[in-house]
Structure 1
Amino acid sequence: MARRTAIYPVPDTGWLVRYRFASVIDLYRHLRLGKGFFVPPPVPGEPVSRAIVEITFPDGGDTLLLHGNVRARSSEGAWLDVPSARTTARWMAGPAGPRREQTRMACDLFVEVRPRGTDPWLCRALDVSAGGLRLAAGSMELGVAGDELDLTMLSPNPKLGPVRARARLAWAGVREAGLQLVTTRPEMSALLQLVENRWSAVPESDHDGACPCSQQPVQQRAS
C-alpha cells in the first residue's frame, strides 16, 4: 500500500507467463519441485523483478493466477517466489465445480482507493474482470464486506487516462480483497481490452515430461 503523491506511479510491466498443465495433479507435483515456482526457459533477457503466471488446464476450468517475484534465473529456467501458490491451488474447483461467470485477467495495475471518510491511498490490482477486481490489500485497510469505495484505476498506457469506478467490498482477507464493481465509466472497457491484448500476445507453454519435476531436482542459481 502506498499513499498518493502528486505524480502517479507507473506499474512495473513485469514478466507474463502462460503455463498449461495436463491436470491439477501435475500442478501439485510441480509445486513440490523446490522452494518457489519453477518456470522453464526461455526466460527474459532483460532484468525483470516481477512475474505473473496464468495456469490453465485442458478441461477449461477456472484459470489460476499467481503473482510473484523473480528470485533466480539461468539458462535452465527461473525460480519465482509465489507465497500463495500452494494455498491457491488447494482451493481450486474440480472439473465439475462451479465456474466464474466472468473471466478474470491477471494484471499489475495501480489503484487509488478512497474509502468514505478517509484519505485516498494506492495499492495494486492483482486481477480484474468486467464485474470486479482483486486487490493486494486486506480488511484492515478496506473495511468490512458491504462497504462501498471509490476507485481510480491507473493504466500503464499514457493514451488511456485514469478509469474511475465505485465498488463494493465483497470479501477481505489479511492480504487480499475482492471488490464488486457497482458503477463504471466507458473507459473501463478500454482498460479491460488493454489487459486482454497484453495477455493475447503471450505464447502458452505446455508442461510436459521434459520438466525437471518429472525427472530430478533443479539446482537454483542466482541470475
Structure 2
Amino acid sequence: MGKTSKTGYPQKENPALLTLLTLFLKKSLKPLLTLFVSGTLIACGTLKNQQDTVPDCPGLSARDRQVEVCVTVPGHEPESIGTLQITLHSALHYPLHNKSKQQNLELERDGSLERLWLLPEPSGYPVVILLTRSVGSGSYPDLQGLQRVNDEYQPFKLAGLSEQQRLGYMGHDQFQVMAGQLYRRFPIYRQTDANISPSGGQACYYYDLKKVAWLQCPD
C-alpha cells in the first residue's frame, strides 16, 4: 500500500527515486565503512605489537609471561658512552610460575640507549634485544642481546652486516619488530652523495638468530 501524504490522500512510491537513493547511500557509506574497518585493523595491529612495561622501572622496560626486563643508565655517566644496568626477573619454570629469579647484569654502552625488544624463542623465554645509537652524523647503531642459557640470561653481540651488505652503508638505520622478527632498513649511498642526500635506494634485512646473520628481506 502506498504512503499517505499530509493532505490525507494516498501517495504512490516512485521506484526510480528509490533506486537512485539506494545507490547514493551505498556510495556515501562505503568509504566510511572502509575507514572504520581499516582503522580497527590498524589499531589492533598496533596494540598487538606493543610491549608491556615494568612498573616503577626508571629506564626502558618490557615484560611478557616469562620475563621482566628493566634497563637503566647511571645518571652520572655521559650520554655517549658508559654502561647499561639491567635487572631481569624470569620465571623459574615454563610456563609462568609464581616464583621468579632475579639477575643483575652490567653491559658496556657505546651511545645512548634507544630501544628494547623481546623476541620470541621456542624455549618460551624471549630473547632481549637492546639498541644503543651513537651521537655522530651517521647515528650508527649498536645491538646487544640477552639469551636464556642454562636457567640464566647471558649477553651476546648481534652479528654485524657482511662486507657485501655494507656497500653504500653510512648508518641512519631504522629498526622495527614485525611478527617476532627484527628488521633493519637504511639508505644506500653512492660515492658522490652527501650525508643528507642518499640516492641508492634502501636496503632491508632481518636478523636470523639461528644463523647469526642479517638476511635479505623477502620481496
**Rg larger for:** 2
How does the TM-score come out when normalised to structure 1? 0.29
Structure with greater contact order relative to length (CA < 8 Å, sep ≥ 6): 1
How does the TM-score come out when normalised to structure 2? 0.29
